[in-house]
C-alpha cells in the first residue's frame, strides 16, 4: 500500500483516501485528476473496502478506459475483469446486452454510427415525402439527438411552432423505424439504459447495491442524461447509495455543442450535498512557460470556478511561435521542427500535431507522407469508417441482424448485382406498407426485381449457414469472400489498399477475441440465451442473483455482436496501434486528457481558432478559449504555435488574421520565430514589409513574398467600389491588398457577410 500512495502530494493523498461519500475533485489540467481517480480505485480494492465488481468508472474515451485498466492491472494483484470501466456508451451497451429483453431490444441489436444515423434519417424523410429543404436531415438529426440527450422522448418534447411539431412527429417515426430494424443510435444507448433503470426497481436496486463506488473522469463534459444516469445508479439519497467520486475541470469543458453541461458540477455539489471538495493546484505535466501561457489565456474567461496551477518545474523552453506564408509552408516548418526534436532524441509518439478542424489535417498529412515520417491520425478517416470496411461490416451486420436497413441498403447492390433503383424503390414501398424491414419485405416484391432481391437474400442466408460454427476471425474471412467484396476489389485498379484493409479485419477480429477474453475457437454467433433474463430474478435467500455485469461476456454477447459494437463505438477513438512509434495528429477535442513531450498547435487564425462558428453562439469564444487551454496544457516540455497568411480550406483560399489568443499570452513566455507581422491585414500601423525588412532577414522568403504582394496594387479595383458576385450578390470593396495574381479584396456583401476573395480568380463585376 505504501507503494500506491507514496507518489502523491498531500491534496492528492487526501482525495484518494476520502471516506466513501460523494466527492468532487476540481482541478486544472495536469494536476493528477486521472491519476488520483485510478489510484483511488486501487486503494479501495487493496484496503478491502470494495471488490472489483463494486467499481464502476467512466472515462471519456475507450482508449482512456483501456489505459486505466492497464494501470490498475499493474497496481493490483487481483483481476480487473469484474470492474465496469468504460465510456458511458460502452457501459450502457454492455448493460443493454445483458438486459436486452427488459429493454425491449432484440438480442442482436446493432449500433448506428452517426453516418448511418444520418442516412437513415434521409430515407425516413424521403419515405414520408418530407421536403428536405425545409427539414434538412442534419437538423432533424441534431433535434433528435438533442432531445435524447435531455432524456426526452417525442411525446415529451414541447413544440413551439409548426416546424417543431413536424420535427417531433418525425422523431417519433424515426424511433419506430429504429425499433423495427433493431438498431439504436448513440444517444439511444444512454436513454434506453436510463429508462430501464428508472422503471425497473429490482434492477435499479441491484445495481445500486452493486456499485459501491462510481468514479467519473472529465465530469465537466457530462450531459444532462449522463448526469441523471449517474444519479440513478448512485441511488442518490437512498440507503443503498454508492459513492459518486467526480473529477473535472470547468476550464476544460469543451463539448457544450454536444449538450455537455458544465453546470452539472455545481448541481452535483448541491444535490449530493458534497462536503468533500478538493482542489489540486500543483501541475506535474508542463514546464513553467507553458503553464504560464495556459494560466494567462484562461484568465480571460469569466464565469470560472476559480483555481490556479503552479509548477515546481523551471520555466523551461519558451513557447515558439511561427508565422508561415501558407498552410503548405506551415506543414514544412512542422516537419523541420519535428525532425530536429527527433534528432535530439524525442520519440515520434511524444510529438503531437493539433488542429481545430479535421479539414486541416490533409495538408499536414501530405507533407509528412512526402517526408517519409510515420504518423497516426486520431479520429480522422478511421479504420472502421473507410468505405470498404463499412461495406464488410454491413455484411457482418446482416449475418447477425438482417433487419438493419442501413446495412441492407449499403450492400444490396454492392458489389453490383443488377439490383437497380427501381427494385429498391419497390422494396421500400412494400416494407413501408407492411411495416417491416427491407429484408423481410423481399417476398412482397414481384417480378424480376423480386427474383434479384431474392438471390441477395439467398446469398446472405447462405453465408450465415456456412459460418454458423466458425470462430469470429474465420467467419470474417468467409464473409469477405462470399460477399464478393474481395473479388470486387481485386478487379479494381487501385483496389490493393482496400484489400489490405479488408484483410486487416481478420486480424482485428483475432485480436479482439483475444483481448475480450472470448475463447479462441468460440463460435461467432450466440444461440438464443437460455439463462434467466433480468426480469426473472432468481431469489436466493435474501440475496438477489441476476445476470448482470459480472456475467461472462460470452453469455450476454456473441463475439460477433461484441465486435460489431466495438466497430461502432470505437469509431470515435484513435486508430493507433499500441506501441506504434509515429507522430500523433488529432483535433484539439480528441487530445483531451492526453499528454506529449512536444505539441504543435497549428492554424491559430481568426475564423479557424477561434472558429468562426463561435461568434454566433453565446459563450462561443469562451468555449474556444477553453479549447485553446486544453491544447496548451497537453505539452510537457515543448510547445509550438503557428498561423499562416494564406490557407486553402474547403476549396477556397483564405486570408486570416492571426488568432486573438496570441494577445492573451504572456510576452515573456514566448519566442517569435518569424518576422513579427502585426496584423498585416486590416488597419495596420506598421506595414508587414517594414517588419520583415528589419527582422534581420531571419526569414527572407516571407519578407520577399510580402514585398512582392505589396509591389503592385490590384487589377484596377478600388476601395469603396461597388461590385457584384454571382453567389454573394452585391457588395462594396472595403480593402485591397497585394497585386497581380496575388491581389485580394475584402468585400462587404451585406447579407452574405464579409468575404475575402482572390481578385484574379473571383468573377466580379462592376456595378
Query: Contact positions toward Mg ion, by CB under 5 A?
Result: 33-34, 593
- CA 94 to CA 162: how far, in whole Å? 39
**34 is annotated as contributing to ligand binding:** yes
Q: Which of 218, 323, 337, 623 is catalytic?
A: 218
Q: Of 408, 383, 392, whose CA–CA distance to 488 is shortest?
A: 392
634 catalytically annotated: yes
252 catalytically annotated: yes
Is 551 near ligand ATP (CB under 6 A)? no
Pick the closer one to ligand ATP by CB: 34 or 742.
Answer: 34
Pick the closer one to Mg ion by CB: 33 or 709.
Answer: 33
**30 is annotated as contributing to ligand binding:** yes
For ligand ATP, which stretch binds (CB under 6 A), given 31-39, 383-391, 498-506, 704-712?
Answer: 31-39
217 catalytically annotated: yes
Q: According to DSSP H, which parts of 516-635 are helical?
A: 553-556, 559-569, 620-632
For ligand ATP, which stretch binds (CB under 6 A), given 27-35, 532-540, 674-682, 754-762?
Answer: 27-35
Nearest distance in Å: CB 298, ligand ATP: 12
Q: Which of 11, 12, 34, 222 is catalytic?
A: 34
Residues in binding contact with ligand ATP, number by CB under 6 A? 19
Q: Which of 33, 40, 204, 647 is catalytic?
A: 33
Specify the 3-state DSSP secondary structure of 631. helix
Nearest distance in Å: CB 234, ligand ATP: 22
Return the HEC string of 235-266: CCCCCCCCEEEEEECHHHCCCHHHCECCHHHH
**571 is annotated as contributing to ligand binding:** no
- CA 689 to CA 97: how far, in whole Å? 65
**31 is annotated as contributing to ligand binding:** yes
The interface partner of residue 188, options being Mg ion, ligand ATP, none and the CB cut-off 5 to 8 Å by kind, is: none
Q: C-alpha grid cell for residue 720? A: 469603396
**314 is annotated as contributing to ligand binding:** no
Q: According to DSSP H, which parts of 620-737 are helical?
A: 620-632, 688-694, 700-711
Q: Are the CB atoms for 56 and 214 separated by under 8 Å?
A: yes
Pick the closer one to ligand ATP by CB: 35 or 204.
Answer: 35
Is 33 near ligand ATP (CB under 6 A)? yes
Return the residues of window 211-250 that contact ligand ATP according to CB under 6 A.
249
434 catalytically annotated: no
- CA 233 to CA 56: how far, in whole Å? 10
The interface partner of residue 717, options being ligand ATP, Mg ion, none and the CB cut-off 5 to 8 Å by kind, is: none
The position carrying cell 414501398 is: 429
Report the residue count for the chain: 767
Using CB under 6 A, which of 31, 117, 584, 746 touches ligand ATP? 31
Specify the 3-state DSSP secondary structure of 728. coil
Q: Are the CB atoms for 5 and 43 separated by under 8 Å?
A: yes
Pick the closer one to ligand ATP by CB: 34 or 397.
Answer: 34
Nearest distance in Å: CB 533, ligand ATP: 39
**741 is annotated as contributing to ligand binding:** no
Q: How far is CA 179 from CA 46, 139, 140, 435, 753, in A?
A: 44, 21, 18, 11, 44
Return the residues of window 248-287 that contact ligand ATP according to CB under 6 A.
249, 252, 284-285
Q: Are strands 276-280 and 23-27 parallel, antiparallel or unpaired?
A: parallel
Is 316 near ligand ATP (CB under 6 A)? no
Q: C-alpha grid cell for residue 373? A: 515520417
**533 is annotated as contributing to ligand binding:** no
Pick the closer one to ligand ATP by CB: 9 or 748.
Answer: 9
Return the residues of window 616-675 that contact ligand ATP according to CB under 6 A.
633
Pick the closer one to Mg ion by CB: 67 or 149.
Answer: 67
Pick the closer one to Mg ion by CB: 593 or 739.
Answer: 593
Specify the 3-state DSSP secondary structure of 733. strand
Please state whether 215 falls in left (phi above 0), alpha (psi between -120 and 50) or beta: beta
Q: Of 184, 118, 108, whose CA–CA distance to 396 is shortest?
A: 108
Nearest distance in Å: CB 285, ligand ATP: 4
Stretch 577-596: interaction string toward ligand ATP, x if CB under 6 A = ----------------x-x-
Using CB under 6 A, which of 15, 22, 23, 35 touches ligand ATP? 35
Is 7 near ligand ATP (CB under 6 A)? yes
For ligand ATP, which stretch binds (CB under 6 A), given 7-15, 221-229, 450-458, 511-519?
Answer: 7-15
The interface partner of residue 284, options being Mg ion, ligand ATP, none and the CB cut-off 5 to 8 Å by kind, is: ligand ATP
- CA 157 to CA 150: how far, in whole Å? 10
Pick the closer one to ligand ATP by CB: 67 or 330.
Answer: 67
Q: Are the CB atoms for 353 and 584 separated by under 8 Å?
A: yes
**243 is annotated as contributing to ligand binding:** no
The interface partner of residue 442, options being ligand ATP, Mg ion, none and the CB cut-off 5 to 8 Å by kind, is: none
Pick the closer one to ligand ATP by CB: 32 or 288.
Answer: 32
Neighbours of 701 (CB within 10 A): 12
Number of separate helices (H) and strands (E) present in the chain: 28, 23
What is the separation of C-alpha 233 from the centre of its chain, rounded to a whole number of angstroms?
Answer: 25
The interface partner of residue 45, options being ligand ATP, Mg ion, none and the CB cut-off 5 to 8 Å by kind, is: none
Read out DSSP for 320-373?
EEEEEEEHHHHHHHHHHHHHHHHHTT--GGGEEEEESSGGGHHHHHHHHHHHT-
Extract the annotated binding site for ATP: 27-34
Interface positions with ligand ATP (CB under 6 A): 7-9, 12, 27, 29-35, 249, 252, 284-285, 593, 595, 633
Tell me the catalytic residues: 33-34, 217-218, 252, 634
Amino acid at each position: 500500500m505504501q507503494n500506491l500512495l507514496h507518489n502523491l502530494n498531500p491534496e492528492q493523498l487526501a482525495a484518494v483516501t476520502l471516506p466513501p461519500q460523494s466527492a468532487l475533485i476540481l482541478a486544472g489540467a495536469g494536476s493528477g485528476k486521472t491519476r488520483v481517480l485510478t489510484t483511488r480505485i486501487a486503494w479501495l480494492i487493496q484496503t478491502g473496502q470494495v471488490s472489483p465488481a463494486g467499481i464502476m468508472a467512466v472515462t471519456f474515451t475507450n482508449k482512456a478506459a483501456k489505459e486505466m485498466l492497464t494501470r490498475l492491472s499493474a497496481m493490483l494483484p487481483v483481476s480487473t475483469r469484474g470492474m465496469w470501466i468504460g465510456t458511458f456508451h460502452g457501459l450502457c451497451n454492455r448493460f443493454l446486452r445483458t438486459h436486452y429483453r427488459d429493454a425491449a431490444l432484440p438480442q442482436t441489436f446493432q449500433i448506428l454510427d452517426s453516418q448511418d444515423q444520418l442516412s437513415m434519417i434521409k430515407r425516413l424523410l424521403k419515405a414520408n415525402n418530407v421536403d428536405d429543404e425545409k427539414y434538412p436531415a442534419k437538423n432533424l438529426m441534431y433535434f433528435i439527438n438533442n432531445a435524447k440527450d435531455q432524456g426526452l422522448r417525442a411525446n415529451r418534447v414541447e413544440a413551439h411552432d409548426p416546424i417543431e411539431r413536424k420535427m417531433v412527429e418525425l422523431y417519433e417515426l424515426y424511433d419506430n423505424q429504429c425499433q423495427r430494424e433493431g438498431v439504436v443510435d448513440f444517444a439511444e444507448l444512454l436513454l434506453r439504459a436510463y429508462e430501464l433503470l428508472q422503471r425497473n426497481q429490482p434492477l435499479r436496486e441491484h445495481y445500486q447495491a452493486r456499485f459501491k463506488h462510481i468514479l467519473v473522469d472529465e465530469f465537466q463534459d457530462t450531459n444532462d442524461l449522463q448526469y441523471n444516469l449517474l444519479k440513478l445508479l448512485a441511488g442518490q439519497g437512498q440507503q443503498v447509495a454508492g459513492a459518486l467520486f467526480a473529477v473535472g475541470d470547468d476550464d476544460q469543458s469543451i463539448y457544450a455543442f454536444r449538450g455537455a453541461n458544465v453546470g452539472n458540477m455545481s448541481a452535483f455539489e448541491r444535490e449530493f450535498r458534497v462536503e468533500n471538495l478538493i482542489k489540486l493546484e500543483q501541475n506535474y505535466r508542463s514546464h513553467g512557460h507553458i503553464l504560464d501561457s495556459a494560466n494567462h489565456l484562461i484568465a480571460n474567461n469569466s464565469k470560472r470556478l476559480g483555481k490556479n496551477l503552479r509548477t515546481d518545474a523551471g520555466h523551461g523552453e519558451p513557447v515558439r511561435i511561427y508565422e508561415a506564408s501558407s498552410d503548405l509552408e506551415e506543414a514544412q516548418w512542422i516537419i523541420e521542427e519535428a525532425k530536429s526534436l527527433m534528432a535530439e532524441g524525442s520519440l515520434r509518439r511524444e510529438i503531437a500535431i493539433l488542429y481545430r478542424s479535421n479539414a486541416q489535417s490533409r495538408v499536414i498529412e501530405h507533407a509528412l507522407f512526402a517526408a517519409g515520417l510515420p504518423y497516426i491520425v486520431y479520429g480522422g478517416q478511421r479504420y472502421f469508417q473507410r468505405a470498404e470496411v463499412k461495406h464488410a461490416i454491413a455484411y457482418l451486420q446482416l449475418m447477425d441482424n438482417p433487419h438493419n436497413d442501413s446495412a441492407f441498403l449499403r450492400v444490396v447492390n454492392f458489389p453490383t448485382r443488377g439490383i437497380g433503383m427501381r427494385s429498391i424503390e419497390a422494396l421500400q414501398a412494400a416494407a413501408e406498407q407492411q411495416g417491416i424491414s427491407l429484408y423481410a419485405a423481399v417476398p412482397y416484391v414481384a417480378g424480376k426485381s423480386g427474383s434479384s432481391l431474392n438471390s441477395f437474400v439467398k446469398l446472405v442466408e447462405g453465408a450465415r449457414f456456412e459460418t454458423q460454427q466458425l470462430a469470429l476471425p474465420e467467419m470474417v474471412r468467409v464473409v469477405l469472400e462470399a460477399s464478393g467484396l474481395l473479388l470486387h476489389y481485386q478487379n479494381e485498379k487501385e483496389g490493393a489498399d482496400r484489400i489490405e484493409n479488408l484483410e486487416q479485419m481478420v486480424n482485428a477480429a483475432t485480436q479482439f477475441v483475444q483481448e475480450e477474453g472470448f475463447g479462441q475457437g468460440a463460435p461467432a454467433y450466440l444461440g438464443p440465451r437460455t439463462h434467466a433474463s433480468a426480469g426473472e430474478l432468481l431469489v436466493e435467500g435474501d440475496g438477489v442473483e441476476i445476470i448482470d455485469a459480472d456475467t461472462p461476456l460470452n453469455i450476454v454477447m456473441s463475439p460477433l455482436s461484441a465486435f460489431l459494437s466495438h466497430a461502432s463505438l470505437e469509431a470515435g477513438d484513435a486508430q493507433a496501434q499500441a506501441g506504434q512509434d509515429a507522430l500523433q495528429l488529432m483535433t484539439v477535442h480528441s487530445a483531451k486528457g492526453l499528454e506529449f513531450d512536444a505539441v504543435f498547435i497549428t492554424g491559430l487564425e481568426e475564423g479557424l481558432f477561434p472558429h468562426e462558428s463561435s461568434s454566433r453562439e453565446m459563450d462561443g469564444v469562451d468555449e474556444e478559449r477553453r479549447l485553446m487551454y486544453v491544447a496548451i496544457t497537453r505539452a510537457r516540455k515543448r510547445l509550438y504555435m503557428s498561423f499562416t497568411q494564406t490557407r486553402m480550406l474547403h476549396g477556397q483560399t483564405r486570408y486570416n488574421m492571426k488568432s486573438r489568443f496570441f494577445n492573451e499570452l504572456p510576452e515573456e513566455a514566448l519566442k517569435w520565430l518569424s518576422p513579427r507581422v502585426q496584423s498585416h491585414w486590416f488597419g495596420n500601423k506598421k506595414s508587414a514589409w517594414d517588419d520583415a525588412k528589419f527582422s534581420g532577414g531571419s526569414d527572407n522568403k516571407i519578407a520577399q513574398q510580402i514585398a512582392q504582394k505589396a509591389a503592385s496594387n490590384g487589377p484596377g479595383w478600388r476601395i469603396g467600389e461597388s461590385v457584384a458576385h454571382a453567389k454573394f450578390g452585391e457588395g462594396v470593396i472595403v480593402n485591397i491588398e497585394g497585386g497581380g495574381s496575388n491581389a485580394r479584396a475584402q468585400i462587404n456583401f451585406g447579407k452574405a457577410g464579409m468575404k475575402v476573395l482572390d481578385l484574379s480568380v473571383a468573377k466580379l463585376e462592376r456595378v
